[in-house]
Amino acid sequence: MKKMLDFVVRSNEQLNDKNHLLRVSPVTNEALPEIRPGQFVQIRVDNSPSTYLRRPISINFVDYCSNELWLLVQCAGDGTAKICALKPEETLNMIYPLGNSFSIPASNQARTLLVGGGVGMAPMLFLGKILKDNGFSPDFLLGGRSAKDLLLLEHFEKYGTVYYTTEDGCKGEKGFVTQHPLLAGKRYDYIYTCGPKPMMVAVAKYARSQGIECEVSLENLMACGFGACLCCVEKTIRGNVCACTEGPVFNIKELRWTD
């Protein structure tokens, strides 16, 4: 069930020059509802005269023991800058949880690969935990421009084997995620990915060429989160749909990317 609720910032950790990890809890201390990997929140940006619309942020992780949501926020403009500047004990208003989720294979013998690029790594962490909790042994393939763009590695390593690519070659393999030798050396049954669209398209084309089930989490501009504003429309085999209500997760068989 979707809720509009005030949250208090428990901590705000600056991970690099543009990314912050916020841990937030309901002000009322009510228990978090069931949240599925791939869902997102819409954050109201207060005290920002140039920001009128809420900002969509992927749910990075859910810590039910601490009753906390983790939000990985990239400072990309006035709205996200205000969110990144929040201090512990300050509050923010969110609508959550929104959108659909990644599917979980029926058999935990399925070989799963989670591919994240840049801030698109965010939903991969919670998905990895859910897979691990259900008996899977996921692999992660994370890419960034440089080592500083590879975020929360110690947390990813709790839930599976982690492989890296960097464009400058300073950590892991040099190049893009689709150039990692892992893809040539290991066969997967399911691939999940989130990140820049060119990266996701490349991963989708690889998966389709190999007959691998693949789901992508779109990062389309979402202004409302309810399908009213039509900012996030995506072309699919069913016609144009709103990514915020029909997604953000899509099986690549639904999209026009690999036609």
What confidence score (pLDDT) does residue 258 get? 74
Question: Residue 259 domain-assigned?
Answer: no
Answer yes or no: is 106 within a domain. no
Q: Do 216 and 194 share a structural domain?
A: yes
Is 105 inside any structural domain?
A: no
Domain count, the chain: 2
pLDDT in tens, 85-122: 999 999 999 999 999 999 999 999 999 999 999 899 99
* Nearest partner of 216 among 130, 118, 144, 114, judged by Cα: 114
| Nearest Cα residue to 123 out of 39, 220, 21, 242 | 39
CB atoms within 10 A of CB 18: 17
Give pLDDT tens digits for 18-45. Answer: 999 999 999 999 999 999 999 999 999 9
Domain endpoint, select from 98, 126, 151: 98
CATH number of the domain residue 90 falls in: 2.40.30.10
pLDDT at 30: 93
Question: Global pTM?
Answer: 0.96
DSSP string, the chain: --EEEEEEEEEEEE-SSSEEEEEEEETT-PPP----TT-EEEE---S-TT--S-EEEEEEEEETTTTEEEEEEE--SHHHHHHHT--TT-EEEEEEEES------SSTTS-EEEEEEGGGGHHHHHHHHHHHHTT---EEEEEESSGGGS--HHHHTTTSEEEEEETTSSSSEES-GGG-THHHH---SEEEEES-HHHHHHHHHHHHHHT-EEEEE-----SSSSSSS-TTEEEETTEEEEHHHH-SEEEGGGBSTT-
Q: Are residues 82 and 180 in the same domain?
A: no
Contacts of 137 (CB under 8 A, 6+ apart): 160, 161
pLDDT tens string 145-172: 999 999 999 999 999 999 999 999 999 9
Residue at which a domain ends, from 64, 98, 132: 98
- Supply the pLDDT for residue 43: 95
Instruction: Please check whether residues 127 and 239 belong to one and the same domain.
Output: yes
pLDDT tens-digit readout, 193-246: 999 999 999 999 999 999 999 999 998 888 888 888 888 999 999 999 999 999
Which of 98, 123, 149 is at the close of a domain? 98
CATH label of the domain that carries residue 143? 3.40.50.80
Rounded percentage of the chain residues whose pLDDT exceeds 90: 87
Q: What is the pLDDT of residue 226?
A: 83
Output the pLDDT for position 48. Answer: 77
Given this model, what pLDDT does residue 52 score? Answer: 81
Q: What pLDDT is attached to residue 228?
A: 86
| Domain-embedded: residue 229 | yes
